[in-house]
Amino acid sequence: MTAFDLTPPDAAQRATLIAGLSPDEARVLLHHGTEAPFCGVFLDNKRAGVYCCRLCGLPLFRSSTKFDSGTGWPSFFAPFDPAHVRQIRDTSHGMVRTEIVCARCDSHLGHVFPDGPPPTFERHCLNSVSLGFAGHGERYPNPLGRGGAEAMPAD
């Protein structure tokens, strides 16, 4: 069981969070868009830390699970906690894919594919605009103002 509160933001909290998004962030996070390959700010990030949901701050992926997939998007072989990333069947582009969304706020993150490295053989392909980042020793983002594990320093 996760140490983080997965309760979705209420309507007022969600409206406040959405108001802080850029048009591109809103297009990707709220309308299941995709950023162009090889342009995301986290594609070449090599810092140690934790990647979090851009909208609600939930930790999603550790930097230790990031790898260079050559696809043009940040890729990870395992989530921070499987309970933090929800999978949805996606048939929107004439193919079957698995969309991944934040388990707390339902923001679109990207897709997961079965062609990653060991030990999971998964490639969680993320949009940089869907992510925030807390470097090693920094506190996790906490836009919902929740206490407990939310305030712990990043891994």
Structural domains in the chain, CATH included, are 11-139 (2.170.150.20)
Residue among 80, 81, 79, 99 nearest 89 (CA): 99
Which tokens sit at 35? Answer: 């950023």
The two structure tokens encoding residue 110: 């990207």
Q: Which of 55, 100, 109, 125 is catalytic?
A: 125
DSSP for 99-153 reads EEEETTT--EEEEEES---TTTT-EEEE-GGGEEEEETTSBPP-TT---GGGGSB
Q: Which residues contact 2 (CB under 8 A, 6 or more apart)?
A: 81, 83, 84, 149
Residue 102 marked as a ligand binder: yes
pLDDT digits (tens, 9 = 90+) for 62-111: 999 999 999 999 999 999 999 999 999 877 767 778 999 999 999 999 99
Question: Is 105 annotated as contributing to ligand binding?
Answer: yes
Q: Which residue has the higher pLDDT, 59 or 94?
A: 59
CA–CA distance, 16 with 57 (Å, rounded to integer): 13
Residue 125 bears catalytic tag: yes
pLDDT in tens, 107-131: 999 999 999 999 999 999 999 999 9
pLDDT for 17 beyond 80: yes
